[in-house]
Amino acid sequence: MTTSHSQLRADLKAIAAMVPSHARVLDIGCGPGDLLAHLRDEKSVDGRGIELDPASVNAALARGLSVIQGDADQDLSGYPAGAFDIAILSQTIQAMHRPKTVLSDLMRVAGSTIVSFPNFGHWRVRAALAFKGRMPVTQNLPNRWYDTPNIHLCTVADFTALCSELGATIEEAVAVSASGAARTIRPGSALANLSAETAIFKLSN
């Protein structure tokens, strides 16, 4: 049941690199459990997942992962403080109804929170709006405006501001491109906000 590193999506690989071995991990929106399975097999983590889609939950359970079918918008508040070392929110925050509440819930239940999101400040996104006057449809944001699940898109600068509003310390920030390469970015930098396709932040209280 080992997932090789190469099969893992590029942003998940970068997230995995931020997770220490044997950590207690909660993965929100874990899908069929690719990241959790990888972390279990490669880093011996004690992993749990929350996933909305029943078929994905089934797939995760069938591979032996501990996943509950639920909604982070509603189900997170029940967990006790400090229940996990790491909470992961990969490509999910932009689809949340209350991203700020979810983020502060995660920071309560876990020592560190890793968030990855499509950067709406990326130059391709800006170009689509500026030059075509159309809502951007990119590799990272493949849906059109009327069928996208992404109701709360933000830029690296927006997210950095939210972190400061929540009093979160940014431990690490990286950008991941479509080619899969991850590089460290400075969250406050305008260039980072222009060049990062996907951003990954590791936060602590």
Partner 1 sequence: MAQTPTPADFSLLPPGAGQVWACGTPLPLENGAALPALEVAYQTWGTLNEARSNAILICHALTGDQFVLGPHPITGKPGWWEQIVGPGKPIDTDRYFVICANVLGGCMGTTGPRALNPETGAPYGLSFPVITIGDMVEAQARLIEALGIDRLLAVVGGSMGGMQVLEWSARYPARVASAICIASAAHHTAQNIAFHEVGRQAIMADPNWADGDYLSRGTVPRKGLSIARMTAHITYLSEPAIARKFGRNLQDKAEVSFGFDADFQVESYLRHQGSTFVERFDANSYLYITRAMDYFDLAARANGNLAEVYRDAATRFCLISFTSDWLFPTEETRRIVHALNAVAANVSFVEIASDKGHDAFLLDEPVMADTLRGFISATAEGVGA
Residues that bind partner 1 (CB under 8 A): 46, 48, 54, 57-58, 61-70, 75, 78-80, 83-84
- Taking the complex as a whole, the smallest distance from the CB of residue 68 to partner 1 amounts, in Å, to 4
| Radius of gyration of the chain measured on its C-alpha atoms | 16
Residue 46 contacts residue 23 (beta carbons within 8 Å): yes
Identity of the residue, 44 or 164, whose beta carbon is nearer to partner 1 in the bound complex: 44
- Taking the complex as a whole, the smallest distance from the CB of residue 65 to partner 1 amounts, in Å, to 7
What is the crossing angle of helices 10-17 and 34-43, to 10°?
40
Identity of the residue, 79 or 117, whose beta carbon is nearer to partner 1 in the bound complex: 79
- Taking the complex as a whole, the smallest distance from the CB of residue 78 to partner 1 amounts, in Å, to 5
Identity of the residue, 58 or 205, whose beta carbon is nearer to partner 1 in the bound complex: 58
Identity of the residue, 110 or 156, whose beta carbon is nearer to partner 1 in the bound complex: 110
**DSSP per residue, 168-199:** -EEEEEEEE-TT--EEE--TT-HHHHHH-SEE
Q: Which residues of 50-78 are buried (b: 16+ CB within 10 A; e: fewer)?
A: bbbeeebbebbbebebebebbebbeebee
**DSSP per residue, 2-36:** PPPGGGS-HHHHHHHHTSPTT-EEEEET-TTSHHH
Amino acid at 83: A
- Taking the complex as a whole, the smallest distance from the CB of residue 67 to partner 1 amounts, in Å, to 6
- Taking the complex as a whole, the smallest distance from the CB of residue 135 to partner 1 amounts, in Å, to 33
Phi, psi of 200 (to 5 degrees): -125, 125
Identity of the residue, 71 or 172, whose beta carbon is nearer to partner 1 in the bound complex: 71
- Taking the complex as a whole, the smallest distance from the CB of residue 57 to partner 1 amounts, in Å, to 5
Identity of the residue, 42 or 75, whose beta carbon is nearer to partner 1 in the bound complex: 75
Phi, psi of 2 (to 5 degrees): -75, 130
